[in-house]
Structure 1
Amino acid sequence: MTRDRDRLAPRLYQQAADMLAQEISQGLLPRGTALTQKALAERFGISRSPARQALDELVRRGLLLRGASGRYSLSGQTADPGLSGRMPVPARLTQRSSWEGIYPEIELAIVSRTPLGCWRVNEAVLARHYGVSRTVARDVMGRLQNRGIIRKDDSGRWHAPALTAQHIDELYELRWLLEPVAMEKAVPNLPAGLLDAMSDELLAAMEGDAQRDSTLLDHLEQRLHVELLGHCRNEALVRAISLPQALLVTHQMLYQLTLELFGTEPFLSEHLEVINRLRRGDIDGARAALVAHLRISRRRAMLRIEAVQEMIQPDPLPYLERVDPPEPG
């Protein structure tokens, strides 16, 4: 399964491994240099976990050999303990200073697996996997919880609930109760021209092959359900809406895999109906159109999930473990 890495800097161990690989290919490391986790960690200013991952990655590439006592040597050479850690001037790595840098990848990794079942998320292993502190990992978990993606069980363990029919029903019921209220409150605060721009975007997407673009479809979902509703100026309501909108993250993955499931993308005309009623000042009609759209979307979401369950074969991740759903508290 393809993961979205475009917004992320390479992991620290990958950066360190790539720099060392380049130095090895250029002959910049003295013959017989013995590399250690400690030396690599000190050189790049990283912890020993990503340092070990970098060295092991170079072993996999055939550039290093793993020796005794945690030392590594250039492939085909004998390590000289006296040359341990004598490497070129330290290079600068792109550090991830906060949770925002790794969050999108983690969110997508978890949500894209929920059609397959319930998953336990191990905070400590997540921190080691990304080479970040427990504080950063805890911030990630907090954001996931706020987004409704993970929950804590009675034992204090984090779980990402499976996207079962019951769970989908619960999330969509919240959406059609809350989103029309937020939309009505948002209307007086909408920037001039926003509704016209959204209408034009939807009409353009309904022409030709534009609606076969999963990135565009995700953008249009965000425009109505996040951007427009975000103008309601009721922070408590916006936070409440964000809980069931974890579904929108799932839709991003589902669109990529099921674009051929429907002859045309039905939500485009449904969004257009909502927007056009708002443009005419028909708030009650817009509310009704939004509820109708969400009720229909619930069934389409289940059809998409059922369609992809046989397609998804995600790579294993050390911080995720598939488990039986936790007993309700």
Structure 2
Amino acid sequence: MAATDGTSDTFALDETPSAREPSVTGAVPRLYERVYAILAAEIAQGRLAAGERIGETQVAGRFGVSRPPARQALARLAEAGLVRKTDGRGYVVEAAAGASAPGAPAAVAVPERLRAVATWERIYDEVESEIVARTLLADWRIVESELARHYGVSRTVARDVVGRLQQAGVVKKGEGARWVAPALTPTHVGELYEVRAILEPEALEKAAVRAPAALLARMEARLRAGLAAPERLGSAELDALEDEMHVQFLGHCGNEALLQAIRLHQSLLIAHRFLYPRTLAMFEVEPFLPEHLAVVRLLRAGRIAEARAELRGHLMVSRERAMARIARIRRSFDPPDLPYLERLAPATDA
């Protein structure tokens, strides 16, 4: 029976503290992060045995999520060495019981029951992914009525999705109070990085006295491992490393208003989930790895002012790399039309 509070009969992970374990900041993890953590825990506990096959459709159906978060979760498991992609469709469990994976706490409990999940949450990841990918090409107007019709949901649900896209900095109010997803032009990307270079160092300083020492130790270990074997880093692992610095660590700053302002200008972190898989060959070693490592080393040494300056410098030089990735993909990217998106002004490289 459908609920009246925006939920549906779709089911996802149990919303218990153990299911929320991957979140360092206390915010609810994204769907693919929760699916990844649960499957990694099941492999560690031997509930998913080595040699067992697992597929995208199977994962999506089990957890009641759409295919994009199921796909992302499996990709992260593969990059962690817990599963491998088969010649056909799907994956096979590679690791034996007792194996651990980055970002998946060993103590996480596997939930035995499921909960009803809000309908907006069921479709959000897919909508976000579709919109962010297309902002490489143009500005887009989001038509709520068509979004609702496309996914077979109510206007209220569509409005919830758009509202959360606004909170993530993906869309904003345009002329005539219309929702617009701005193109990732050099001007817009530059503005995002400029604001982040102002806000994030401030959050870094506040987080430095609040974040657990174990988090910094883990960050340094993972960055060192990545630099030692950069060829083993896939897009999901790069995304996780970005998240550790710019989301998890900064989340300890203790100022929610500051965090909200930061999140509003971090839409490029979302875009990187689309950019990284398509631009891995651009750099022999991903440039942000030594930059992040320099910040972490300074933090662990208690040199906070220098860490602030290092983070600001990292953000300022990241703009040109982001635009280079965008320009490379834009030349060949031709996504199909979607009924809820109206193309407005095209993006330019000027």
Q: TM-score, normalised by structure 1?
A: 0.69
**Contact 2:230/2:285, CA 8 A, preserved across alignment:** no
In structure 2, the partner of 1:153 is 174
Report if aligned partners of 2:230, 2:284 keep a CA contact under 8 Å in 1: no
Structure 1 distance, partners of 2:228, 2:127, is 34
Deviation at residue 9 of structure 1 after TM alignment: 5.2
Aligned 8 A contact 1:186 1:229 in 2: yes
CA shift at 1:8, angstroms?
5.2
Distance in 2 of aligned mates of 1:315 and 1:251: 20
Shift of 1:132: 1.1
- Counting only pairs closer than 5 Å after superposition, residues 113-192 of structure 1 correspond to structure 2 as 113-192=134-213
Find 1:286's aligned residue among 307, 311, 333.
Answer: 307
* Residue 210 of structure 1: how far off its partner (Å): 4.5
- 1:297 matched to 2:318: yes
Aligned to 2:343: 322
SS in 2 for 1:115: coil
Q: Is 2:328 the partner of 1:307?
A: yes
Deviates more, 1:216-225 or 1:144-153: 144-153
Deviation at 1:292, TM superposition (A): 0.8
Matched, 1:269 2:290: yes
Letter in 2 for 1:133: S
Q: Max radius of gyration: which structure?
A: 1
Same amino acid, percent of matched pairs: 51
Per the alignment, residue 50 of structure 1 pairs with none
Farther off after superposition, 242-251 or 211-220 = 211-220
Check whether the contact 1:180–1:290 (CA below 8 A) recurs between aligned residues. yes
Question: How big is the shift at 1:207?
Answer: 2.1
After superposition, the Cα gap between the structure-2 partners of 1:8 and 1:298, relative to the gap in structure 1 and judged at 3 Å, is farther
Equivalent position SS for 1:233? coil
Distance 2:153 2:117 in 1: 8
Structure 1 unmatched runs, 5+: 15-93
1:226 to 247, 261, 270: 247
Partner in structure 2 of residue 43 of structure 1:
none
Q: Within 5 Å, which residues of 2 pair with 1:230-241? A: 230-241=251-262
1:12-161 equivalent positions in 2, closer than 5 A: 97-161=118-182
1:241 offset after TM fit, Å?
0.1
TM-score by length of 2: 0.65
Q: Deviations over 1:79-105 (max 9, x none)?
A: xxxxxxxxxxxxxxx986331111111
Structure 1 residue corresponding to 2:238, chosen from 217, 235, 241 = 217
The aligned length equals 241
Which residue in the other structure is 2:269 paired with?
248
1:49-82: CA deviation from partner (whole Å, max 9, x where unpaired): xxxxxxxxxxxxxxxxxxxxxxxxxxxxxxxxxx
The runs of 5 or more residues in structure 2 that have no matched partner are: 1-31, 33-55, 67-114
Shift of 1:245: 0.4
